[in-house]
Copies of this chain bind each other. A is one copy, B any other.
């Protein structure tokens, strides 16, 4: 197997692109895909301050690595969820990366510790409010990332969602014809109100396998285990099913998700969602963050947990 570009020995084959690359040309391919996403979807420019949501997994650390390597102004935010036997390990990876890769490039790491700030780890919180752990985790992360981005004056918040994540989410939304969710499945969501940060997914053109290869080739030390809370999740099932289809027809995920984006771009006004949201949003009566209800879902959940802890 020879590199498609320079004809030296290849280290990775990409069936969906009918190509293979050596390490330098593969890195260039990854950087190019990220830049295409960043420019094509007007995610941010070299002047913008970016806050990367890092978990310690391959996707978010690879994203931070790519953005720093390309010279963007990217800091990291890690939310320590207090999951026994998992959070400590993932935090270690993130702090080591921040120390060895980010700091020399003048990028910093912010850390939010759920056990300190919310008073308990997400498993206990989930038990207290009687909701699935992944749903409580989503509420806390969305809230904390957004609040940190707004309070520390970042222009945009970037997450490590890749092609597999987005295709799996799209499959779930299509199987249930969730039209509201379908509308928000783009890789770049504009800041819809002062108080809501712009959110982007610069890895949406790269598959999980490609990002894992990038992380390994560039010696990024990430946590390999899936979060123990995610076992049996619908997203993992959708990914498994899409991988089955991808094996039979390389390019299936890409055609599915990118085809959806093309269709979306053709049919809808680009900022209609932002306008619709703006009309529906106002500050939460408790914390001041934007919400469509009187009190935002984070504050509602925390009030419920507090009531149950000290009735």
Contacts and interface: CB of A to CB of B under 8 A. Distances in A.
Interface stretch (A140-148, A186-194, A237-245): A237-245
Interface in A207-257: 234, 237, 240-241, 244-245, 248-249, 252, 255-256
A181 interface: no
B175 A256 contact: yes
A255 B175 contact: yes
A163 to B, nearest CB: 14
Given A237-B248, A245-B237, A174 B174 contact: yes
Contacts of A132: none
A177 interface: yes
A260 interface: yes
B175 A252 contact: yes
So how many copies of this chain end up in the complex?
Answer: 2
A5 B17 CA distance: 55
A259 interface: yes
A177 B174 CA distance: 11
A78 to B, nearest CB: 32
Interface residues of A, number: 20
Contacts of A152: none
B263 A177 contact: yes
Nearest to A238: B245
A239 to B, nearest CB: 12
Contact of A259 (B177, B256, B259): B177
The interface centre, meaning the residue of A240, A241, A255, A262 with most chain B CB atoms within 10 A of its CB, is A241
A237 to B, nearest CB: 6
A244 B255 CA distance: 22
Contacts of A252: 175
A175 B237 contact: no
A116 interface: no
Contacts of A249: 234
Contacts of A248: 234, 237
Contacts of A276: none
Contact of A260 (B177, B240, B255, B263): B177
A179 interface: yes
A310 interface: no
A255 B177 CA distance: 8
23 contacts: A174-B174, A174-B256, A175-B245, A175-B255, A175-B256, A176-B255, A176-B256, A176-B259, A177-B255, A177-B256, A177-B259, A177-B260, A177-B262, A179-B263, A234-B248, A234-B249, A237-B245, A237-B248, A240-B244, A241-B241, A241-B244, A241-B245, A244-B244
Given A179-B263, A244-B244, 4 more contacts: A175-B245, A175-B252, A237-B244, A240-B244
